[in-house]
Amino acid sequence: MDEAHVRKSLDGEQRDAEKDLHRGLKDRHVQMIAIGGTIGVGLFLGSATAIQKAGPGLVASYAIGGLVMFFIMRALGELLLYRPVSGSFAAYAEEFVGPWAGFMTGWSYWFMWLVIGMAEITAVGVYVHYWFPAVPQWIPALISLGLLYSANLIAVKLFGEIEFWFALIKVVTIVAMIVIGLGVIVFKFGDLGKTASFSNLWAQGGIFPFGASGVLLSLQMVMFSYEGLELIGVSAGETENPEKVLPHAINSVVYRMLVLYIGALLIIMSLVPWNQLSPGTSPFVLVLEKIGIPAGAGIINFVVITAAASSCNSGIFSTGRMLYSLAQVGQAPRAFGKVSIRKVPAAGVTASAALMLVGVALNYIIPERVFVYVTSVSLVGSLWTWALIVIAHLGYRKAVATGALLPVAYRMPGSPYANWFVMAFLVLVAILLSLDEGTRVALYVAPIWFTLLGIGYQTAKRRAAQVV
């Protein structure tokens, strides 16, 4: 079977439909989309809570989570080089697992980013309120959503530029904190330099003060921090020169995330002993204040606003593309499968942005718990998506082994053993969700959600049969 025939028989209508999208994303855009979607308020504000659960052992949690994400991203990368399409993992789940898997993966990923967008757009309102307490919270939330929605409608390249600069602000902040903190530790600058030392990492009960249980209990928060790396797959259908850009982006983004996360945590806990960090205070703010930067709270507040806006921007982008991909195979309304004159899936972008407004209402109803609930529910969507990526990869490798498909040069190392390792790890994280009252809600929502998806799939299947 020649290559042209293989490609034609596999890609079908969906690959032809991808021509409607504009490949305007460059290498720097793709890398920053993944970094921007991943680095959020969880690191800048929520890392103190994770530190209290694991102490310096949190670094081990991030390293383990990073290894798992490396395998997931390499599996995704191999599939992307085989067929770089928008909404990639839903397409791969359908092709290598079954139509039901594509349906559930696509809609789960759409729902995951929808609820994240709800949380993040409200966060913008909360943090703007820090500077302008007289301004109602919903006004900056609505304005920022409107601006991001408009940018997503104009062109994919504009989305890429906005996300690039949003992500760059976060990266520069983390790198600056690492460099300044390292200078304080090595050269003993200021009052903080008198007590700052790498020995703080093991002087307060050792590197693993809570033993293995601390590392395990922090894994759910760690994996939430890695949500968004798979956005590289969503952007594949609009990436310029995907055969060159995607492998480079995937290889570099995982390493960069590990350096940023682990580097920041090591410096923070060396500057201030981990048991002196309060769960209710951003460790970045505390460290900047102790170094002698009084505007630390304001700086981090600005960075967190960009982090929230960046995440919402990614949410609008990914939900629109996922609805577009689902519509191509008849698993979403046909209107979502069309693009505007600017080569943007405008209907899906509009519908998703409109539903994100529900997040403002949720913050009025359950303001104290909504962020924990939303992030927990979103993690279930990520666990499902990541699992389907490695399962679909097994299906692809099996097809290659039988000669049904052609191999690609970019391959996931350690397969199939690495695939099974990843799936076992993801099951472990799902089990760990049940151990905390705040995250347990995700396990209540998940059966309801997948039941609704099952009903939706059967309905879509019957309608498709009637059309035929």
Domain spans in the chain, listed from the N-terminal domain onward? 14-467
Cα-Cα-Cα-Cα torsion 415, 421, 426, 427, nearest 10 degrees, comes to 130
CA angle (439, 443, 446) in 5-degree steps:
125
Contact indicator for 387, 109 with CB cutoff of 8 Å: no
pLDDT of residue 3: 38
H or E segment and range at residue 217: helix 211-217
- Which candidate, 68, 84, 287, places its Cα nearest to that of 182? 287
**Cα 364 from Cα 120, distance rounded (Å):** 15
pLDDT of residue 235: 64
Residue with tokens 């690609």: 408
Contact indicator for 27, 249 with CB cutoff of 8 Å: yes
DSSP state of 218: T
* Amino acid at the residue 229: L
DSSP state of 239: B
pTM attached to this predicted model: 0.85
- Which candidate, 379, 278, 289, 375, places its Cα nearest to that of 49? 278
What sign does the dihedral 187-56-227-93 (CA atoms) show? positive
* Amino acid at the residue 32: M
**Cα 105 from Cα 385, distance rounded (Å):** 6
SS3 for 291-359 is HCCCCHHHHHHHHHHHHHHHHHHHHHHHHHHHHHHHHHCCCCCHHHHCCCCCCCCHHHHHHHHHHHCHH
pLDDT in tens, the chain (468 residues): 343 333 333 344 444 445 555 455 666 666 666 676 677 666 776 677 788 889 999 999 999 999 999 999 999 989 988 987 766 788 899 999 999 999 999 998 898 888 888 877 777 877 787 788 888 777 888 888 888 888 888 866 777 787 788 888 888 888 988 999 999 999 888 788 888 899 999 988 899 999 998 899 888 888 878 887 887 776 665 666 777 777 877 888 788 888 888 999 999 999 989 988 877 677 887 788 788 877 777 888 888 888 888 888 888 888 888 888 888 888 888 889 888 887 788 899 999 998 888 776 666 666 556 666 666 677 788 899 999 999 999 999 999 999 999 999 889 999 999 999 999 999 999 898 888 776 777 778 888 888 999 999 998 888 777 765
- Which candidate, 419, 415, 416, places its Cα nearest to that of 427? 419
Burial class (CB in 10 A: 0-12, 13-18, 19+), 15: middle
- Which candidate, 384, 263, 309, 258, places its Cα nearest to that of 140? 309
**Cα 311 from Cα 51, distance rounded (Å):** 23
- Which candidate, 370, 197, 342, 190, places its Cα nearest to that of 269? 197
What sign does the dihedral 192-195-197-202 (CA atoms) show? negative
**Cα 322 from Cα 79, distance rounded (Å):** 17
* Amino acid at the residue 112: M
Radius of gyration of the chain from its Cα atoms, rounded to whole angstroms:
22
**Cα 269 from Cα 202, distance rounded (Å):** 10
Does the 14-467 domain belong in CATH 3.30.360.10?
no
Residue with tokens 């472990």: 428
**Cα 440 from Cα 426, distance rounded (Å):** 16
* Amino acid at the residue 419: N
Contact indicator for 339, 188 with CB cutoff of 8 Å: no
Q: For 188, phi and psi rounded to 5 degrees?
A: 60, 45
Residue 398: which residues within 8 A CB-CB, separation 6 or more? none
Q: Chain-centre distance of CA 123, in angstroms? A: 17
